[in-house]
Amino acid sequence: MEDMTTTAAPATTTPVVGFDQVTKTYGSVRAVDGLSLRLYPGETVALLGPNGAGKSTTLDLLLGLKNADSGTVNVFGTGPREAIVAGRVGAMLQSGGLMEDVTVAELVKLACSLHPKPYKAAEVMARAGITQIADRKVNKLSGGQAQRVRFALATAGDSDLIILDEPTTGMDVSARQAFWATMREQADQGRTVLFATHYLEEADAIADRVLVLHRGRLLADGTAAEIKAKAGARRVAFDLEGDIDEPALRGLPFLTSIDVSGQTVRIQSADADATVRALYGLGVYPRNLEVAGLGLEQAFVAITEAEEAKQSC
Ligand SMILES: Nc1ncnc2c1ncn2[C@@H]1O[C@H](COP(=O)(O)OP(=O)(O)OP(=O)(O)O)[C@@H](O)[C@H]1O
């Protein structure tokens, strides 16, 4: 698989975020391993990676919640904490505890009062869709409502960089749609949005750049389309009549996965042309043949599995 860590980011724009050879270890675990990357104004960037890949640690380093063992983290030309004190960074963390014995409105007003460039609390609540629960105690909220409140806190003021760790977990469909519409507006106004997610369809739909982390290293960096294309493999689906000789199909060249369901066969192949030629060579005549590129989810799995295989050699 070719190198996927070259980004087409503009060379002339001053980066919003710069990581240079950043490493963070916990005991023997290298959570972030020599990570270098740049984020630029107006980018919406998805941070993907399997469990334990180092996404949350990367965001914590970016927010100054953790210190790197080596390397440098730069945010708007300063350290992360200075950038936060200056109000340039808004964040929504995965399990960010919410103050319990206050109402939603009180909490949002507090967040606004602490921000150097605050928005009006009523505006912030309307944007997050929590006006109707403004008088409710924070410890009485459902999971999705609490998530909306975290979203409000992350957008309490005019920040230039918005960091979101799995932001839509627990949100219903309409909350998700409203959330991403707001984030899109924020990016259109020149803000940088960085979000970690396990929802690959969200990354595909929302992000104009996708970073794939694996064991603390950057495995891929590009648009979703580039990552899908560079993963190489393609999906092939077809129907067969009569008895299916599954062992023979499993022996097809370039096959990376196969699923037989009834008369329908779905395979993933590193060289779809060669696989289909070999299929005809078996004397098998597929009907309804479809060949398509990988979705971001399959590309992600292909990239991370290829890396696992490389490391276990
Ligand atoms: N405080 C800690 N002490 C010890 N090990 C930690 C600590 N925090 C994270 N780790 C380890 O560092 C690695 C990276 O964890 P991190 O939470 O950054 O990954 P992640 O990509 O956010 O994972 P997930 O998708 O599961 O949220 C994991 O192996 C994790 O077990």
Least confident of 43-52, 85-94, 119-128, 249-258: 85-94
In a domain? residue 3 = no
Let me know whether 172 and 239 are in one domain.
no
Q: Work out the pLDDT band at 10, boundaries 50, 70, 90.
A: low
Let me know whether 26 and 80 are in one domain.
yes
In a domain? residue 8 = no
Amino acid found at 275:
T
Cβ-contact 64, 226 below 8 angstroms: no
Of ligand 1's listed atoms, the one at least distance from the Cα of 57 is: 18
Where would I find the beta strands (DSSP E) of 49-116?
70-75, 89-92
Let me know whether 284 and 145 are in one domain.
no
User: What tokens does 110 get?
Assistant: 């507090």
Let me know whether 25 and 121 are in one domain.
yes
Q: Work out the pLDDT band at 13, boundaries 50, 70, 90.
A: confident
Q: Mean pLDDT in the chain?
A: 88
For residue 204, the CA-to-ligand 1 centroid distance in Å is 24
In a domain? residue 306 = no
Mean pLDDT of 162-187: 88
Q: Give the per-residue pLDDT at 29.
A: 93
Cβ-contact 179, 210 below 8 angstroms: no
- What are the CA-CA distances from residue 66 to residues 14, 22, 132, 252 (Å)? 24, 12, 36, 49
Percentage of the chain beyond pLDDT 90 is 51
Return left, alpha or beta for 207; rule: phi > 0 is left, psi -120 to 50 is alpha, else beta. beta
Any ligand 1 atom below 6 A from CB of 217 = no
Of ligand 1's listed atoms, the one at least distance from the Cα of 94 is: 27
Let me know whether 183 and 252 are in one domain.
no
Of 187, 208, 228, the one marking the end of a domain is 228
Any ligand 1 atom below 6 A from CB of 232 = no
Mean pLDDT of 137-146: 89
Let me know whether 190 and 57 are in one domain.
yes
Instruction: Sheet containing 209-214: give its strands across.
Output: 89-92, 161-165, 192-196, 44-48, 209-214, 217-222
In this model, does residue 2 exceed pLDDT 50? no
Let me know whether 59 and 103 are in one domain.
yes
**CA dihedral angle for residue 149, residue 153, residue 158, residue 164, rounded to 10 degrees:** -90
In a domain? residue 111 = yes
Q: Give the per-residue pLDDT at 248.
A: 92
Q: Work out the pLDDT band at 1, boundaries 50, 70, 90.
A: very low
For ligand 1, atom 12, name the residue with the nearest CA.
Answer: 31
Q: Give the per-residue pLDDT at 179.
A: 87
Let me know whether 136 and 243 are in one domain.
no
In a domain? residue 136 = yes
Q: Give the per-residue pLDDT at 217.
A: 93
**Domain span at 209:** 17-228
In this model, does residue 35 exceed pLDDT 90? yes
Any ligand 1 atom below 6 A from CB of 31 = yes
Let me know whether 168 and 74 are in one domain.
yes
For residue 153, the CA-to-ligand 1 centroid distance in Å is 24
Let me know whether 264 and 211 are in one domain.
no
Q: Give the per-residue pLDDT at 7.
A: 47
Let me know whether 220 and 239 are in one domain.
no
For residue 265, the CA-to-ligand 1 centroid distance in Å is 38
In this model, does residue 275 exceed pLDDT 80? yes
For residue 120, the CA-to-ligand 1 centroid distance in Å is 36
In a domain? residue 9 = no
Of 176, 202, 228, the one marking the end of a domain is 228
Cβ-contact 96, 52 below 8 angstroms: no
Q: How many domains, in total, are found in the chain?
A: 2
In this model, does residue 222 exceed pLDDT 60? yes
Least confident of 121-125, 145-149, 231-235: 231-235
Q: What is the CATH number of the domain that holds 270?
A: 3.30.70.100
Give, as one character, the DSSP assignment of residue 234.
E
Give me the residues paired with residue 22 across strands. Answer: 35
How do residues 79-115 score in pLDDT, each as one tens digit? Answer: 999 998 888 998 888 766 667 789 999 999 999 998 8
* Greater pLDDT, 223 or 11: 223
In this model, does residue 194 exceed pLDDT 90? yes
Of 228, 250, 269, the one marking the end of a domain is 228
Give, as one character, the DSSP assignment of residue 43.
-
pTM value is 0.81
In a domain? residue 101 = yes
For residue 186, the CA-to-ligand 1 centroid distance in Å is 29
